Structures are given as structure tokens and as C-alpha cells.
Amino acid sequence: RHGEYHYDTISAFIKSLRGSDADAALLYCAVMIDAGEDPLFIARRMVIFASEDIGNADPNALQLAVAAFQAVERIGMPEGRIILGQLVTYLSSAPKSNASYLAIDAALGLVRTGVEFTIPMHIRNAPTQLMKNEGYGAGYKYPHDFPGHTVAQQYLPDELVNSVFYRPTEQGDEKTFRDYLHGLRP
């Protein structure tokens, strides 16, 4: 629970999950449980892992991780070990992708450079008549009114029109997302 061994163990745990080695991940989880580590710390790390390392390759991983966190929080120990063990085996076995993690960091990186851009008028909110008169929302095409619920329309600002942040992989469900998005991009 304290010192360098604490950090070495959690590092080995996360890297074992990432490497799809359920047995190693279970071992390091057991070491943490036996040492008295807060089970919510372990569960919290797996919630982060589900989004950071699995992402859209298996979108259910995040829901399952959050549910496991809540279950451990409500049930407590020693029964919480069963929930943690189930989540460890699921996350270890799930396909992996960090594309969403890389995408948000790329978008944040661009924003933090101070780049200036203007939100296109057609996707701006127009709650007042004055804003409507100024052209806010004018020409917006509501995707649900079109076949396939998609429509060719510019959403990125003119200054960033060729920016691509999300690059889906071919892992798990993300391959379906990749194929869908590639079909929409010009």
C-alpha cells in the first residue's frame, strides 16, 4: 500500500491488463487486495483503463467497469474481490484500442496552442429571433431528416476543416466505427 512497491504493483497490473494477460493481472490484483489496497482504488484504475486502453474496441467495457466500481462500493470486501476478479478477466480479454484517448489529447493539444477559429454559423445555437436574424443556425441540415441519418455538412471551423483527431483502429467494434466514418468522409 505504501512506497515504491505500491507503484510497481499497480503498474504491473495495468500493463498486464493492456497486454491481455488475465493471469498476471489477477495475480497483481490479488497482491493489492491482500496488501489492504483500497478496492475502490483498484476499481477506479480499471474504469480509467476501460476508456483509455479499450475504448471503442469494446464500448461495453466502460459500462461494465463503472458498474463494477459501483458494485464494489456498495458490496465492500471480501465479496468485492469477486467483482474485481470478473472485471479483471473481462478487461484482459477485451480487444484494445487507445484511439479515443489519442483523439481527445490531439484535440486538446490543438486547442491549447491558442489556434483561433470561428464556429460555422449553420451549427450555432439560435434561441432568439435576433440570433436567427444574424444567421445563426441558417442552413443547418438536421441529419435525422436524411437517409441513413447522415448528411454532408461542414461541422469543423473553416480554419480547421482538414483536421482529423479520431483515427479508429481495426480492433473489435471500432472497426465498424472506422468503416462507418470513412464512408462519410470525403
Q: What integer pLDDT is reported at residue 2 of this predicted model?
A: 56
* Proportion of the chain above pLDDT 70, given as a percent: 97
Residue range 56-83: mean pLDDT, rounded: 97
Q: How does 10-35 read in b/e, with b if 16+ C-beta sit within 10 Å?
A: beebbebbbeeebebbbbbbebbbee
Residues 6 or more apart whose CB falls under 8 angstroms from that of 83 comprise 43, 68, 71, 72, 75
Residue pair 120/155 in contact by the 8 Å Cβ criterion: yes
Residue range 1-18: mean pLDDT, rounded: 86
> Which three cell numbers mark 8?
510497481
- pLDDT tens digit string along 134-176? 999 999 999 999 888 888 899 999 999 999 999 999 999 999 9
- pLDDT of 86 > 70? The answer is yes
Band of residue 181 on the pLDDT scale cut at 50, 70, 90: confident
Angstrom distance (rounded) from CA 186 to CA 175: 18
Question: The pTM is what?
Answer: 0.87
Q: What integer pLDDT is reported at residue 5 of this predicted model?
A: 83
Q: What integer pLDDT is reported at residue 4 of this predicted model?
A: 73
Closest C-alpha to 14, from 60, 57, 48: 48
* Proportion of the chain above pLDDT 90, given as a percent: 87
- pLDDT tens digit string along 111-124? 999 999 999 999 99
Q: What integer pLDDT is reported at residue 149 of this predicted model?
A: 87
Amino acid identity of residue 119, one-letter, is I
- pLDDT of 37 > 70? The answer is yes
- pLDDT of 41 > 80? The answer is yes
Q: What integer pLDDT is reported at residue 3 of this predicted model?
A: 60
Tell me which of 49-53, 55-59, 129-133, 177-181 is least confident: 177-181
- pLDDT of 186 > 80? The answer is no
Q: Which residue's entry shows cell 462519410?
A: 184
